[in-house]
Amino acid sequence: MAPFFFGEAGFLQHKYKSDELGDSDSSGFAFGGGAGVSIPVGESLSGWVLGRYLVGMTGDDEYGDGDTTFLGLMVGVSIPVGGDG
């Protein structure tokens, strides 16, 4: 097992649709980070589990919601595509 940490930055577009409140969308700079663990499964395959927190500086003031935040727990597999694997 190998723990890992990561940071991320980019652009986020948030769209909201509602029959009662109408539609809304906003976009802006986003940043976040997280940590996880990679678990080798065989010679060239790894499974992983990670937790991530993302903040989108969307400034959605139409409904007083402010910025968009996201907290996620994810699982997956990694398959190397070149190099020493």
What ranges do the domains of the chain cover? 2-11+26-76
What is the dihedral angle through the alpha carbons of 60, 14, 33, 51, rounded to the nearest 10 degrees? Answer: 120
CA 5 – CA 79 distance, rounded (Å) = 19
Amino acid 51: pLDDT: 97
Query: How confident is the model over 5-47, as pLDDT tens digits?
Result: 999 999 988 777 878 777 777 788 999 999 999 999 988 899 9
The residue that leads in pLDDT, 16 or 2, is 2
CA 64 – CA 31 distance, rounded (Å) = 21
CB atoms within 10 A of CB 45: 13
